[in-house]
Amino acid sequence: MSQEENKSLFDHGQPTYAEVNEDILSVMLETGPKYWMLLGTMASIAGIFFFMPWFYQLIVGVGAAGMNRNAVWGSYLSNFIFWIGLSHSGTLLSAVLHITNSPWRKAIYRSAEAMTLFSLMTAALFVMVHLGRVWYVHWSFPIPNQMGLWPNFRSPLMFDVMAITTYLTASSIFIYMGSVPDFAAVRDASTGLRRRLYTIFSFGWRGTAREWHTLGWAYTFFAVLVIPLAVSVHSIVSWDFALSAVPGFHHTIFAPYFVCGAIYSGTAGIVTVMYCLRKFLGFERYIGQVHLDSLGKLLITLSLIWSYINVLELFSTWYGGTSFELEALSFRLTGFYAPAYWEMILFCAFVPMLMLTKKIRWSWNKMLVISILINIGMLTERFVIVATSQPRKFLPGAFGYYVPSWIEISITIGSFAIFATLFLIFIKWVPAISLYEVKETLKPLRRDA
């Protein structure tokens, strides 16, 4: 990586090593009242919009949501898929770009990995909200019990359980191990209880060449393991649908479709989070035009792939001409949910094409709007897939539709607040930008430099 290219990563001139530590650690070490107000607001919204309706639903039954006989799966499951999709951002950025040695990843991957972890936790919450008898959810885990019963490993949902457990574990370990040298920096910069806590968290890291060597190799192995894991997780989630016989679900394209959609919505999520980091944490120096530009180009590519897969689905369904599939297709395009479908196409296929112009791609505000629209479109896409295929299965006597109830809408809003709360807690406990990787992009401390 040449020095000129590295210099371009920094819009406002390169900071010194000491400044890197100061800037990034100050977010953790200094907390003002605005942070507490924001955290309190987010936690309250999460409590009021997510947990209280969920509690009501636990008492009354899943019937409090809008699902009925025609669509037994509703927004809870489509939100679950949306959040799992959002979690693929961190993995892509962190692991894939690490293997390919991309320099612009270095400032943003820590927050992206945090996004992964918190999206997964939110998705896991949605599984619990969705279940009819959630107090028995532990039966779906292979835990020895007095009944001598085990879960059904032939079920696609069991693949889900295994995959998401593995992904949660691997992501937590991945982000933790990558942060160990930064925990050491926090330890050095703090006193009292915080110093003692971070001494424990950093395992007594000193930064010897041997430690760096071992960490570098372990991190590379984690990255190499996590990439196929991420691909498999969303493929497995897509197979919850694709392994049924339902027309509209039963397509082989579902695995690539979902994985592509996941990386797409995840990358859009990263743009949103980067905007917030720059604006609220003062990281303008570290996250610059090059990052935005690279993310924008990635989004364009993913949008094109996503559009292509959608066209494929439409074309092969129409060309195949089986009556069940055609009925499902026409319901999707022109039926009760047609507005949702076309809104999804607009936001995910057409709006991102605005990014082809450099002017839009280099503007933070416009990219924020586009990334939010993309994610709204992706949320709708998950909903459209779930809600439009079930009411048009095979027997016309069983056709119908379903409308999400107030509880579902409230829980959807609450889930974003939960994610925000977790992220706000994260920025106070872990340096939001990786100190040592940013230092790697700075000009080296040489006498003649």
Partner 1 sequence: MVILGTFAFEEDFLAAARNLTASGFDNISLLSPLPLDEAQEVLGLGKSSPVRHFTLAGAIFGGIAGFAMAVATSLVFILPTGGRAIITIPPFLIITYEMTILFGVLFTLMGFHFVSGLPAWTDKPYLSSAGTDKFVVVVEGAAGAQVARAETIIRDAGAEEVRLEEDKQ
Partner 2 sequence: MSTIAEKLRAYSKPGYYDEFDYHWTMTIDLDRCTGCEACVVACQAENNLPIVGEERFAQKREIKWIRIERYWEGEYPNIKMGFIPMLCQQCDDAPCETACPVYATYHNQDGLNTQIYNRCIGTRTCAVYCPYEVRYFNWFTYTWDEPLEQQLNPDVTVREKGVMEKCTFCIQRIRIAKDNAKDDDRRRVRDGEVVPACVQSCPTEALVFGDSNDPDAKVSKLMQDERGYKVLEELGTTPSIVYLTKVHS
Binding stretches for partner 1 (CB under 8 A): 16-18, 21, 142, 148-155, 158-159, 162-163, 165-166, 169-170, 173-174, 177, 180-181, 184-185, 188, 200, 203-218, 221-222, 225-226, 228-229, 232, 236, 435-437, 439-440, 444-447
Q: Rounded to an integer, what distance in angstroms lies between the CA atom of residue 114 and that of residue 136? A: 29
Length of the chain: 449
Among 100, 101, 146, 152, binds partner 2 (CB under 8 A): 152
Q: Rounded to an integer, what distance in angstroms lies between the CA atom of residue 44 and that of residue 23? A: 30
Please tell me whether residue 130 binds partner 2 under the rule CB under 8 A. yes
**139 or 176, CB closer to partner 2?**
139
Judge whether 181 and 435 are in contact, CB under 8 Å: yes
**201 or 275, CB closer to partner 1?**
201
Judge whether 405 and 38 are in contact, CB under 8 Å: no
DSSP state for residue 155 in the 8-state scheme = S
Q: Rounded to an integer, what distance in angstroms lies between the CA atom of residue 408 and that of residue 274? A: 28
Q: Rounded to an integer, what distance in angstroms lies between the CA atom of residue 240 and that of residue 205? A: 43
Instruction: State in angstroms the smallest separation of the CB of 267 from partner 1.
Output: 23
Site for partner 2 in 229-248 (CB under 8 A): 240, 243-246
- Partner touching 143 among partner 1, partner 2, none, CB below 5 to 8 Å by kind: none
CA distances from 376 to 14, 179, 348, 396 (A): 36, 31, 9, 32
Residue 321 has, within 13 A of its CA and on its CB side, a CA count of 1
Among 27, 95, 125, 161, binds partner 2 (CB under 8 A): 161
CA distances from 10 to 20, 172, 362 (A): 12, 29, 14
Q: Rounded to an integer, what distance in angstroms lies between the CA atom of residue 422 and that of residue 445? A: 37
- Partner touching 275 among partner 1, partner 2, none, CB below 5 to 8 Å by kind: none
Please tell me whether residue 134 binds partner 2 under the rule CB under 8 A. yes
Among 400, 406, 428, 440, binds partner 2 (CB under 8 A): 400
Q: List Cβ neighbours of 441 (8 Å cut-off, separation of 6 or more).
A: 1, 6, 9, 103, 106, 107
* Structure-block tokens of residue 295: 């993310």
Instruction: State in angstroms the smallest separation of the CB of 211 from partner 2.
Output: 42
Instruction: State in angstroms the smallest separation of the CB of 147 from partner 2.
Output: 9
Instruction: State in angstroms the smallest separation of the CB of 329 from partner 2.
Output: 17
Among 51, 121, 156, 197, binds partner 2 (CB under 8 A): 156
Instruction: State in angstroms the smallest separation of the CB of 326 from partner 2.
Output: 16
Site for partner 2 in 354-393 (CB under 8 A): 390, 393
In 10 A of CB 316, how many CB atoms? 13
**Complete DSSP assignment for 72-129:** SS-HHHHHHHHHHHHTHHHHIIIIIHHHTT-GGGTTTHHHHHHHHHHHHHHHHHHHHH
Instruction: State in angstroms the smallest separation of the CB of 225 from partner 2.
Output: 25
List the x/- string, 55-74, binding to partner 2 by CB under 8 A.
-----xxxx---xxxx-xx-
Write out the E strands in 322-423: none
**114 or 435, CB closer to partner 1?**
435
- Partner touching 397 among partner 2, partner 1, none, CB below 5 to 8 Å by kind: partner 2
Instruction: State in angstroms the smallest separation of the CB of 240 from partner 1.
Output: 12
Which residue stretch of 154-162, 189-197, 350-358, 421-429 sits at the interface with partner 2 (rule: CB under 8 A)? 154-162
Instruction: State in angstroms the smallest separation of the CB of 34 from partner 1.
Output: 28
CA distances from 275 to 49, 53, 264, 265, 384 (A): 25, 31, 17, 16, 29
Closest CA to 355 of 371, 342, 376: 371
- Partner touching 192 among partner 2, partner 1, none, CB below 5 to 8 Å by kind: none
Instruction: State in angstroms the smallest separation of the CB of 344 from partner 1.
Output: 29
- Partner touching 370 among partner 1, partner 2, none, CB below 5 to 8 Å by kind: none
Torsion of CA 32, 38, 43, 48, to 10 degrees: 140
**199 or 307, CB closer to partner 1?**
199
Instruction: State in angstroms the smallest separation of the CB of 12 from partner 2.
Output: 52
Q: Rounded to an integer, what distance in angstroms lies between the CA atom of residue 142 and that of residue 154? A: 13
Q: List Cβ neighbours of 199 (8 Å cut-off, separation of 6 or more).
A: 187
Interface residues toward partner 2, by CB under 8 A: 60-63, 67-70, 72-73, 130-134, 136-137, 139-140, 149-152, 154-158, 161, 240, 243-246, 390, 393-398, 400, 402
